[in-house]
C-alpha cells in the first residue's frame, strides 16, 4: 500500500508523456509539406510516412532524417535548411495530451513541487515546453544537453531531486519509456509510473500504470 501522504514532488518526462509528440509532429509535417513545394514530388502521405519511419519516435535527430529524405527522394533541397526550419517552427505545433493543463493546475493547488527531466537539445526542448504553455508550472526543468547527463543515467534524476529539495521516497516520476523513464526513476529511488505507450515495450520493474494524464490525480487521491 502506497502512502501518498509522503508525496512532495511529481516529476515528468516530456515527449510522449506531456507532449503528444505524434500529433505535434503530424501537424508540423503537414505544414512543412505545404510550404515547401519540392516535397510534393514525393506525395504528402509518402513524405509523412517516411519521415516518421526515419524519426523512430524522436530517438533519431532530424539532421539524419532530413539527409536521408533528401537523398532517397533525390530532392533539390538543403537538409540543413530543412533542419533549421524544423528547429524554428516545431514549437508552433506542440499539442499536449488531454487534461495536461488541468492536471498541472490541480497538482500546483495541492502544493506539489513539479519537475521535468527530458533528453534532447536545450533550446529545442525549452521551446517545446513553451509551445505547450507549461513552463510556469514547473519548479525545475532539466534537459540532457544542458546538464551533461542523459536518461537513464540516474544522476540526472538525483540532480533533479536535489534541486527540488526532496528525498527520492518523496517523489514520483511519470514517463512513457519503460527503461529511460520508469526503470531509471525507480533505480534512483522514486516511485515509477508508466504512461502507457505502444511500441516501446513494458517496464521490467513493477510500476504503476496510467493511460491518460488525469488518471494520475485519481491515483494520488486514492
pLDDT-derived band at 3 (thresholds 50, 70, 90) equals confident
Q: Are residues 9 and 87 in the same domain?
A: no
Q: Are residues 110 and 80 in the same domain?
A: no
Q: Are residues 47 and 112 in the same domain?
A: no
Q: Are residues 12 and 81 in the same domain?
A: no
How confident is the model at residue 204, as a pLDDT?
A: 67
pLDDT: which is higher, 59 or 45: 45
Q: How many domains does the chain have?
A: 2
Q: What is the pLDDT of residues 93-107, one digit of tens each?
A: 999 999 999 999 999
C-alpha count within 13 angstroms, C-beta hemisphere, residue 216: 29
**What is the chain's mean pLDDT, rounded?**
93
Q: Which residues, in sequence order, are bridge partners of residue 172?
A: 10, 191
Domain interval for residue 141: 4-20+96-221
Q: Are residues 48 and 141 in the same domain?
A: no
Q: Over the range 200-211, which residues count as b (16 or more CB within 10 Å of their CB) and which as e? A: beebeeebbebe
Q: Are residues 15 and 118 in the same domain?
A: yes
CA gyration radius, the chain: 18
How confident is the model at residue 1, as a pLDDT?
A: 52
Distance, in Å, from the CA atom of 135 to the CA atom of 48, rounded to the nearest integer, reads 29
Domain boundary, last residue among 60, 93, 126: 93
Q: Is-above-0.85 flag for pTM?
A: yes
pLDDT-derived band at 58 (thresholds 50, 70, 90) equals confident
Distance, in Å, from the CA atom of 175 to the CA atom of 188, rounded to the nearest integer, reads 14
Q: Are residues 48 and 80 in the same domain?
A: yes
Q: Are residues 15 and 56 in the same domain?
A: no
Q: What is the pLDDT of residues 165-222, one digit of tens each?
A: 999 999 999 999 999 999 999 999 999 999 987 766 677 675 689 999 999 999 998 6
Amino acid at each position: 500500500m502506497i502512502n501518498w501522504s509522503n508525496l512532495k514532488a511529481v516529476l515528468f518526462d516530456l515527449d510522449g508523456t506531456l507532449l503528444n509528440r505524434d500529433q505535434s509532429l503530424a501537424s508540423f509535417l503537414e505544414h512543412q509539406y505545404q510550404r515547401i513545394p519540392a516535397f510534393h514530388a514525393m506525395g504528402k502521405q509518402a513524405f509523412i510516412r517516411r519521415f516518421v519511419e526515419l524519426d523512430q519516435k524522436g530517438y533519431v535527430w532530424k539532421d539524419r532524417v532530413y539527409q536521408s529524405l533528401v537523398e532517397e527522394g533525390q530532392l533539390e533541397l538543403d537538409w540543413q535548411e530543412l533542419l533549421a526550419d524544423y528547429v524554428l517552427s516545431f514549437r508552433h505545433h506542440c499539442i499536449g495530451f488531454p487534461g495536461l493543463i488541468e492536471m498541472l493546475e490541480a497538482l500546483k493547488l495541492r502544493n506539489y513541487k513539479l519537475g521535468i527531466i527530458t533528453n534532447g537539445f536545450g533550446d529545442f526542448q525549452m521551446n517545446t515546453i513553451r509551445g505547450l504553455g507549461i513552463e510556469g508550472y514547473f519548479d525545475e526543468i532539466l534537459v540532457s544537453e544542458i546538464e551533461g547527463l542523459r536518461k537513464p543515467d540516474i544522476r540526472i534524476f538525483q540532480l533533479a531531486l536535489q534541486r527540488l529539495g526532496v528525498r527520492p521516497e518523496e517523489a514520483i516520476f511519470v514517463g512513457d519509456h519503460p527503461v529511460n523513464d520508469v526503470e531509471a526513476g525507480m533505480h534512483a529511488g522514486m516511485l515509477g509510473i508508466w504512461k502507457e505507450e505502444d511500441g516501446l515495450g513494458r517496464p521490467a520493474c513493477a510500476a504503476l500504470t496510467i493511460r491518460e494524464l488525469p488518471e494520475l490525480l485519481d491515483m494520488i487521491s486514492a
